Structures are given as C-alpha cells and as structure tokens.
Structure 1
C-alpha cells in the first residue's frame, strides 16, 4: 500500500476514481436507456428478439460493471505488475461470467417463448432437452475460459475432452445425427404434428416428433417410424400446407356420339364447375381418341387443402355431370372389344387377297 500511495499523486488517484465511477455509471446508464427504449415498444417488431434482449439486459449486474470500471481506473495508476494482473483477471472473469449469464438467460427466454406458443407438445418436450444441452455447453465454455483466465493450463483438459468427445461421437454418430436432425426439425419446421406428409412410398399423418425418431400414422392404421436423419435426407411432400388442390379427371364418352353433343361437353362441364365458389375452373378439352372411348380431360383447382372437403366437392361435381349427360343423352363409354368375322367378299375382310403376288406381301416364294 505504501508503494501505491507513494508512487501515485493525488491527481492520479482522482483520475482513477473518476474513470472507475464514470465508466461504471456510463455502462449502467446505457443499460437503463436500452431497457426503457425496448420496453416502450412491446410487440412492435415481427420477431421476439427484442424481448430476449430485454431479459438479457436485466441480468446485467452492477458488480460486473464495477469490476470493469476498476480495471479502467487502474490504468491511471502506477501499480506493481502482480496487482495489474489480479485486476485484469478479475475484470476478464467478470466479463466472462456476465457473457455466460446473458447466454443462459437468452436460451431460457427462447425456451419459454417456445413453450408458451400453442402447438406440438412432443416438440416442446424434445426442445427442453436440446435447450438444456445448449445451456450446458454455454456454462462449460465459460468455466474453461475462467480457468484459463486465472492461469490454469487447460490444454491437457481440453485435449482429453476432445479425444473423449471424438470417441463418443464416433460411437454414437447415428444418435447424434438424429439429435441434430431433431434440432433442425424444431427450428426449420418442415412439418408439425398433425401434418399429412408423403416420404417416398410412405404416407400418413405426423403423430410424434422425438429426439431420435418421427412417427407417422399410415392410412391403414399402422405406425410408420423414421429416424430423423433419414427423414431429412428424403424428399418430403407436406400436403397440410397446400394452398389449393389441382384436380384432373377424364370423362370417357362412347364412340358414335354426335358432333353437336361432343362440342357441347366442355361448356357443360365448365358451367357446372364454375358455379361453385370453392373451385376455380381451369379447362375441359377433348384430348384423345381412346381404344374404346372419346376422352375429355377436365382440370380445376379446389381452394381448400382439406382432403375430405375436396372429395365432397368432387362427389358433387361428378353427380352433376352425370345428370347433365343424362339430360343431353350423352352416353359414357364402357370397355368393349369388337370381333369382326371377315368375309372374302368384303374388301377389308380378306387379307391377303388371293390374287396378290407373294412379293407384294413380303413373302418369299417357295419351291415344292
């Protein structure tokens, strides 16, 4: 203490005290201003990042700010290197601890926002475990940085943890892959519980999203289980998120139907479909001569993605088309085959004609 007093004039002590108080007061004032500004506009932003920032700023402690202020004030004093080292390490430790507190508070706030959002309970349960692991990582990194700051050699510790971590990762790479895939599903949300999805040749409603597996309820009532990693590597069709359904069907009209009736079919179908408010008509065309029918293709868009409502609309449309065809005496085609008995007197019946030369039929004459 004698060294401190004798080697520093009163002016230096005043500067150090002023720097310490001024820096601490400035940081505390900036914190309060930021809190006031963010608290004045709740819900004005599309994201909730500002709410997380408010929570983190409220976890800013005056002791940490004072430690940083003391370090800044010590710059104006002539003190031994050992004291300088102690002050700097205390300031860095306070900063590391404050950063860890901010990270932990931000993660807990994010988890609370997720749990308060109406939705999938299974996803929330799995996200709790993921957030616990993230908080554990934050505090572990903070603890290692704290040890390194106070002069402990953590190289061997980190190396041993790294080797052990690599061994564990290799042994459990499938589990870890599914775990990170679960985190990706939770954040990106390609589907949620209740969505109807198609993955390859499997289709069903999502019933459960866990840390390792996702389970679907198939149309036959069976449960289909995917590992999360395998599921994300596949192409997923999410029918729940369709804005509209494109529906195409074919009307098969019998051969022999008059030209006037064939010409009227697209207009009849268009009037039936366009009369509905839940459907957008696209087209109706005579597009093919079938083997046993004249084929008309009809396309419309159903405005609701619900499958049952779509089938109700399809049911009503097809019944109205059937009634209209009965009124117009337009017959639907039925699969049939025509067997024709050839007559030698029929120009199209006897083939090859008896008088046709063999060379014209592609056959080679033979000698007997």
Structure 2
C-alpha cells in the first residue's frame, strides 16, 4: 500500500507540480488574519458613515480575497502559522496569576482587562491548534468531510465564546472604561474574523484540499533554476517572469502531447469496470474517439489554469477566476459523461433490446432521451451552484412564485416549452420543407416563441410553436433516398391477356434496371455508409429503431394489374426515384412515362381514354320507321 501511495504522489506531482504555493517571501498566516480583522474594522466604521458607505463593497471584496488566500495557503508547510505558541502559553499563565491577585485585591479594572486579554490569547491558541491539526491529520487521501469535521470542533467553541455577553463595570473613570471597551471590541472583532474564516472553510473545503499533495514542493527553487538558465542564455531578460512564462508553455505542451496517453489510460480503467466492451474493439475505438475531445479540452484548460497560477505566483489566482474555471470543469465533466453514456450506456441498452423478451425499442429509445435530459439538468444545477446561487431557494421560488407567473404568461410559457419539445424531438430544422395543417413552406428560423416559415407563394408565416407541437408535422426533407412515383396505366379492353402480362413484366424489368430508380441493394449499401457517417449513433441503432424509416430510405417497387376500370384495364406502377429533389424527380418521372409509352407501343397495345357505351333494350316504333 505504501508503494502504491508513493507512486500516486509522484504521478500527481509530475502533473501538478506548478500548483504548489511555495512563496519565497513567506507571509505568516496570523498576519493574514490580522489584515482580515483590520478590514472588518474598516467595514464596520464605514457602514456607520453615510458618505463612505459606498466603499464598503470594495473592502468586502478585498476581505474575501484575503480569506481565499488564507484557505489556499492553509496546508502549505512553508507558510508559518505566525503564532508563538510558547510565548502565548507563558502569557496565559501570567494572566491567570494576575487574575488571582486582582481578585484578592478587588481590582475590578485589572480583573476585567486581564480576562479579556486571556480570552484573546485562548482564541489564538485554539486557531493555532486547529491549523496544526489540519497539517498533521490531512493527506492526499483525505476528503472534504475530514476538513469539515476538524473545523466544526473549533467553530462550535468560538461560536459559544462569541455568544457570551460582557457587562463592563460602570463605576470606573472614563479613561479606564474606554480602555476596557476597546479591549472588548478587539476581542469580539478577532472572534468575528476567526468565525468568518472557519465558515468559509466549512463552505469551501475543496480549496483547502486542492493542493495538499504538493506541500513540500519548492516552487521558488524550480523557478530560480529556470531563471538561472534563462539569464545565462539571455542576460538582459527578466529572469523570474521569463521562467514563469517558460514553465507555463512547457507544461501546456506536455499535457497536450500526452492527451492520447491519458485517454488510453482512462480507457484501461473503464475496461476494468465495463466487461462487455473488452472484446468489442469497434465499441472501444468509438468510445476512445468520443472521449478524446473532452479529455484534450480538459488538459488544455487545466494547463491554462496552471499557467495562470504560475503567472500570479507568489499570490493566488483571483477568486472569480477560479469560480469561472470551476464552471468550465463542470461543463467538461458533463461532456465526458454524455460521451461515455452514449458509448457504454446506449450499447448496453441496445444489447438488451436485441435479446429475446428484452426491452421494447420504444422504451429503450425513451430511456436514452430521458437520461440525456437529466444529465443536462444536473450540469445546469451544478453550474448554478458553482456560481454561488442557492439551488434550494431557486427550486422553492419556482414552486411558489412560479404558479402566479405561469398563470399570467401561460401562452408565452406554452410556446416556450413547445419550442423545447420541438428542439428535443428534432422534428424539423432550418431549411426543411414542412406541412402542418394549413401551413406549408420552408422553415426560416425556429425561435423560443414562434417559428418563421417562408410559404411557396413567397409569403412569410409566423407560426406559434404551441400550434406546431400540437399538430402532426409532415417533413418532406427527411428523405435520404426515395421519392414516390405512382401512376395507373389504363389499357383498352381489346388487349389480350398475354400482351398484358408481357407489358407488366417489361415495365417491371425496365424499372429494376433504370439507373435513377431506387433498388433495395443500392439502399442497403447507402444506408451502411450513412450509418458510418453518423457520429452520434455510435452503436448498432438497428436494434432500437428502423434505420431505413428513420433516415428516409424507400425502395419499394410494384407493377401489377390493379383493377378493371369503367373504360380500361389499369396497371398500377409504384416505385421510388433515388433523388428527392423536386426538379430531378420530375425528370425521372418523365423518363419513366416515356419508357412506358415505348413498351406499350412495341407490344401493339393502346392506351384507353374515358368513354361510355349506352345500350337500349327497346326502341319505339315511330323511331324504327324513321330509321
């Protein structure tokens, strides 16, 4: 176990060495606490001044940056705590003797002043013990709950101390009373500072743990060595700044160079848990291709994050910068999760659907869509939380205030959610020719409230999305191969049975050999090429939906004697052209009609035209005489 631990630490040090917070001009943590306390004092004074109250947010931001810096440097062993604990304990012992002596002498002023000083020293001792315990208890395998547990103990003690009230003796002179009040204010201000820092650590334990692996890495030593080499080559260069830039670029190149290696290692780890993909090289390759982009992007952003830390060195990066980087990391993690789910989750569900008595195809398809939706919702909530929003309050406000808003703008919300449904369903896109009720034309743009359609009479139609979502939509553009050609060939009743059969056979043969008529063999090969080109379908989708119908492939071909009409014997011709473009389809249809005419003429048959014969059963005698 110790060997594994050491190996993990070495690997993380090689990848994250630059994130160590080694400061050549080390600042005592206690000095940071004093600076935070001074800012609290300024803020309290400015809040009472109407003129300077507008400057309070500026000092509050400075205080938050200092607290953030304190949390980042907390576990760095090179940062001194700044509290001389031995001297602190000696002063406490001395003050306890003073308290005994002043109590015997009824010296109320000395007793109260010594009590406040003793309480202040005890608070410093508790902070010192907390910091020492953090540094000795936490390691690489520590979790956020460990930080919370350690900080909660001292947090309860200090909150208990801050809740106590003190009454100053009123029978003292004004000078002594002022000194006691000032001492009490300083003590309360110190407790307030310590509590703010501890509450921040409770809320952001990850910032304390983020760099705990690299405590003993001397960043200053590394930069000094790089700066020495640069100064030796370029004497006029700025050594430290040049070293920072060089180290940032070097790490950027290293991380991007090893992105494929990182992807391969990630795949090895996944294969340990996902057994069914171990022998399926095609699934593995597609998964590797899908996760290469998010991992490469992560390494790029991570190297950029490291570069910023180096350039800001020895100071930490701004708090807002880290917040926005956290948003990017959450989005990248969601991207990686979706890619993995599409690969492994969809492949697993497809294998279940292909088994006998397995899931229905519709159910599997619905599971995939619902899973993608929930992944996106989780990502959005995580991003909002990273940005500082109260997720519980947002959900509660949506439940209470959302009802009134929904009633007021129900039509607007109906159109909005209809647009979401249309986007998720992917019923049509920009440039598609659609028919929905009385609306027919080309989709120009689909907005959140309405969809713009250009009619074939060149009129611009604005259709509410709720109307499109509530009606059936015919999308003529969702056809890859196959536009229907249907006609009835009427031949005269004088045609013989043998010639009719020859005509049907000749027309069917002509269509089967026609270069522009869709055939099953051509469509099968075309469908496979289309499947290989679809990056989103990274598993065998034919177990879930009919791919020919989904992508729009039609190759049916029928030529039969259909019925005996009033004035003709009708032959049904039903086939599909390869092209779906209207102009090309008209040309193919014209050619087919001319070929049919040629066949009919060669067989000596004739096209029938509408006619009607009238038979008289009896004729009046006067009419017969006139004949």
- TM-score bracket for this pair, using the shorter chain length: 0.5 to 0.7
The match for 1:102 is 326
The alpha carbon displacement at 1:45 in A equals: 3.1
Quote the residue 1:176 is aligned against. 413
Q: CA deviation at 1:216?
A: 1.9
Residue of structure 2 equivalent to 1:221: 458
1:145-191 residue CA offsets vs partner (Å, 9 max, x unmatched): 39x9xxxxxx7x99778654433332112212222333444454321
Q: Is the 8 A contact 1:282 1:299 kept in 2?
A: yes
Give the corresponding residue for 1:145.
390
Q: Secondary structure at the match of 1:46?
A: helix
The alpha-carbon deviation at position 101 of structure 1 amounts to: 5.3
**More displaced 10-residue stretch of structure 1: 220-229 or 38-47:** 38-47
Please say which of residues 19-28 and 294-303 is displaced more in the overlay: 19-28
Q: CA deviation at 1:211?
A: 2.1
Q: Which residue of 2 aligns with 1:251?
A: 489
Distance in 2 separating the partners of 1:337 and 1:287: 21
Shift of 1:255: 1.4
Contact 1:182–1:211 at 8 Å: present in 2 too? yes
Q: What value does the CA root-mean-square deviation take over the aligned residues?
A: 4.8
- Structure 2 CA distance for partners of 1:9 and 1:176, relative to 1, 3 Å: closer
Find out whether 1:275 has 2:499 as its counterpart. Answer: no
**Residues 330 and 382, structure 2, Cα contact 8 Å, conserved in 1:** no
Distance 1:292 1:261 in 2: 18
What's the offset of the Cα at 1:41? 5.1
How many residues matched? 283
- Residues of 2 paired with 1:56 and 1:180: CA distance? 34
Q: Corresponding residue for 2:609?
A: 334
Check 1:61–1:228 CA distance in 2 against 1; reply closer, same or farther (3 A cut): farther
What's 1:305 paired with? Answer: 580
Identify which range, 261-270 or 300-309, moves more after superposition.
Answer: 300-309
Match of 1:286 among 540, 544, 561: 561
SS at 2:561 equivalent: strand
Q: Which has the higher helix share?
A: 2
Which residue of 2 is the match for residue 130 of structure 1?
A: none
Task: Choose which of 97, 119, 122 in structure 2 pairs with 1:3.
Answer: 122
Q: Which segments of 5 or more consecutive residues in structure 1 lack a partner in the other structure? A: 65-93, 111-133, 149-154, 346-368
Cα 1:24–1:311, aligned 2, differ >3 Å: closer, same or farther? Answer: same
Secondary structure at 1:241's aligned position in 2? Answer: coil
Q: Deviations over 1:248-278 (max 9, x none)?
A: 2211111111222212111121232122223
Query: How far apart in 2 are the matches of 1:229 and 1:222?
Result: 21
More strand by share: 1
CA contact (8 A) 1:196 1:206 kept: yes
Aligned to 1:349: none
Tell whether the 8 Å contact from 1:241 to 1:305 is kept in structure 2 after alignment.
Answer: no
Distance 1:14 1:307, change over 3 A: same
Q: Given that residues 252 and 332 in structure 1 are in contact (C-alpha distance below 8 angstroms), is that contact kept between their aligned partners in structure 2?
A: yes
For the residues of structure 2 that align with 1:199 and 1:28, how far apart are their CA atoms? Answer: 63
- Alignment partners' CA distance in 2, 1:141 and 1:101: 10
Match of 1:231 in 2: 468
Per-residue Cα deviation, 1:17-42 (whole angstroms, up to 9, x for no partner): 2456753335789xx99996579559
CA drift of 1:98 comes to 6.4
User: Are the aligned partners of 2:294 and 2:332 in contact in 1 as well (CA < 8 Å)?
Assistant: no
Gap runs ≥5 in structure 2: 1-82, 84-120, 141-208, 216-251, 265-285, 310-318, 335-378, 520-555, 621-627
Greater displacement, 48-57 / 297-306:
48-57
Aligned ranges 1:22-61 → 2 under 5 Å: 22=140, 23-25=209-211, 37=259, 44-46=288-290, 50=295
- Tell me how far apart the structure 2 counterparts of residues 177 and 7 of structure 1 sit (CA, whole Å): 58
**Map 1:55-204 → 2, pairs under 5 A:** 102-103=326-327, 139=384, 142-145=387-390, 163-204=400-441
For the residues of structure 2 that align with 1:56 and 1:255, how far apart are their CA atoms? Answer: 80
Deviation at residue 6 of structure 1 after TM alignment: 4.6
Task: Report the alpha carbon displacement of residue 295 of structure 1 after superposing the two structures with TM.
Answer: 0.7
